[in-house]
Amino acid sequence: MDLPVSLHISSLEYGYAAAERGACTVFNVACVAGGPTHIRRLFALAEAAGIECLIGTDQESTLGTAAQIHVGVSMPNLSLPCDPMGPVLYTASPAKERIRAEASHLYPPEGSGLGVELDEEKLRALTVASA
């Protein structure tokens, strides 16, 4: 039986070392590790090494989850289920609208950038401290 071995990969150097040593069969990546452009680079490394990828979660808000969804729908080598479900864990969001989730699928917000519009009042209410 094939048993996938997933490893959280946050840098190209770590991903290369993991691939070179055969340390895993799956790269688990998240936007917290450098943003959407960086994740795309990790996907490219994984593809070149013959390693599958999934997009994991670090309990991002609506903003981080939107970024991960946009990456996910644009990656041809995303073949495993992903779990960017941070917004489901929170009772409040700094966004005007929540991420659309239906039948275990997340949909990218529409609009410019990440497609997320911030609600300034909610953002102030959620702010713990400011510089």
- pLDDT top residue among 46 and 59: 46
pLDDT tens-digit readout, 58-106: 788 888 899 999 999 999 889 898 887 777 788 888 999 888 888 888 8
pTM: 0.84
Domains in the chain, start-ordered, CATH in brackets? Answer: 6-126 (3.20.20.120)
Tokens of 9: 């990969």
Q: In this structure, is the dihedral angle defined by the CA atoms of residues 122, 101, 88 and 61, taken in order, positive or negative?
A: negative
Tell me the H-state helices in the chain: 12-21, 35-49, 62-74, 86-89, 120-126
* CA-wise closest residue to 83 among 26, 11, 23: 26
Tokens of 36: 């959407």
* Residue length of the chain: 131
Reply yes or no on whether the pLDDT at 1 is more than 70. Answer: no
DSSP 3-state of 33: coil
- pLDDT top residue among 126 and 19: 19
Q: Cα–Cα distances in Å, from 71 out to 11, 40, 89, 131?
A: 17, 7, 21, 31
Phi, psi angle pair for 7, to nearest 5°: -135, 130
